[in-house]
Amino acid sequence: MAKRQIFETKTYNLKILSPIHIGTGEDMDPMDYVYKDKKLYKISSDTFFNILEKRGLKEKIIKENISKLNIKTIARNINDIFDRNNDDYVYYIEIEDSLEGSFATRYFNPDAQMQIGLTLRSGDDIIIPGSSTKGAIRTAFLNFLSEQYNSEVYNNLLQGRNLMLEKDDERNLKNIINDPFKFVSVSDVSISNETRIVEMFRVGSKGKGIPIVKEVIVPNKDKNNNLTISIKTNLRDCWNNKPLNLPKLKKELINLDLKTLLEKTDRFYRSLLKVEKDVYKRAYPSFDNSFFALIDKEKGYLIRLGFGCGNLSYTIKGCSKEVKPGKTRFLVSLKNKMLPLGYAILTEKNEAYTDH
């Protein structure tokens, strides 16, 4: 009898199908960027002080009415002097056309709050962290486990991680060292897609609200980005031989491999896709559902990443048999289309796929 494989790792292509925002949790510092010609230029502190000292900006600022002097006043003056042909910059971000008309007014208005959420970067490289991809897979796997419970057995108030905890002490598993999903690891991805500053419009029971402004990764079906995913199906290897009480998880891992795990992930997000399509159609009667039809035809393992994907993109809070996404969603105005956030597809290199 062949020995069961307890460690498996594979490389996949990640293709971005709709705008994705994975941010740092902090808004843009206006002193780090210059707005010129429909672009935001990231400048270093050296460039900032060079402009301040060598281009006469200090004297210009001093002449301002001191009561009006604030960060946006300084930013406006730096913008007036900055020359992209002569001043150094790290990178630039395009402003989406639909936002550009009002962007300058809001950006420089000292009384307007212009909070801009930027994408996660390492240096000037755009990054999708492995933790985000792992979180998307975790959500789907937890949903799979929840299907085997009913409301009489599983307490709806418990968070999704308890689907794997069984009767183990929940406080013990809150420690990241004891994370019951440690059997999966995913690499970070450096993304070559362009990004844009866009407006996001809220769709939900609370109404549209005030549009928010964030940088998103622009979808590009022609670009593939490599990542690796690994699983360990021997639990003792995951927790350094610590005897955690996870009988249900152990049972699932007996027959689990990467293909099976990602098939469960794909099934969950394709079910979610159908729910999303109906929600947006009700909220926006003129919404173009062809976007969802095109995604549904994509071959591979569908996932959803980042901001605006609903509560269930991070944790399963119920044990319903149905997919119930979060109440709040966002549509992004990009290239004259209203698009949902977060959809991407994973394909294994050199693997053939059949139609769904």
Token output for 202: 């809220």
At how many degrees (to 10) do helices 130-146 and 258-283 cross? 90
φ/ψ of 111, rounded to 5, equals -95, -5
Question: H or E segment at 120?
Answer: none
Q: Is 214 exposed, middle or buried, given 0-12, 13-18 or 19+ CB atoms closer than 10 A?
A: buried
Q: Is 132 exposed, middle or buried, given 0-12, 13-18 or 19+ CB atoms closer than 10 A?
A: buried
Mean pLDDT for the chain?
76
Q: What is the C-alpha separation between 189 and 206, in angstroms, rounded? A: 35
pLDDT of residue 161: 43
Q: So where are the chain's domains?
A: 7-26+127-348, 29-114
Q: pLDDT tens digit string along 228-278?
A: 999 876 655 555 555 555 566 667 777 788 999 999 999 989 988 888 888
Cβ proximity of 269 and 288 under 8 Å: no
Predicted TM-score (pTM) of the model is 0.81
Q: pLDDT tens digit string along 62-106?
A: 666 555 556 767 777 788 888 889 899 999 999 999 888 888 887
Token output for 300: 């591979």
pLDDT at residue 323 above 80?
Answer: no
Exposure class string for 97-128: b at 16+ Cβ within 10 A, else e: ebbeeebeeebbeeeeebebbbbbbeeeebbb
Q: What is the C-alpha separation between 27 and 10, in angstroms, rounded? A: 35
Q: What is the C-alpha separation between 5 and 162, in angstroms, rounded? A: 27
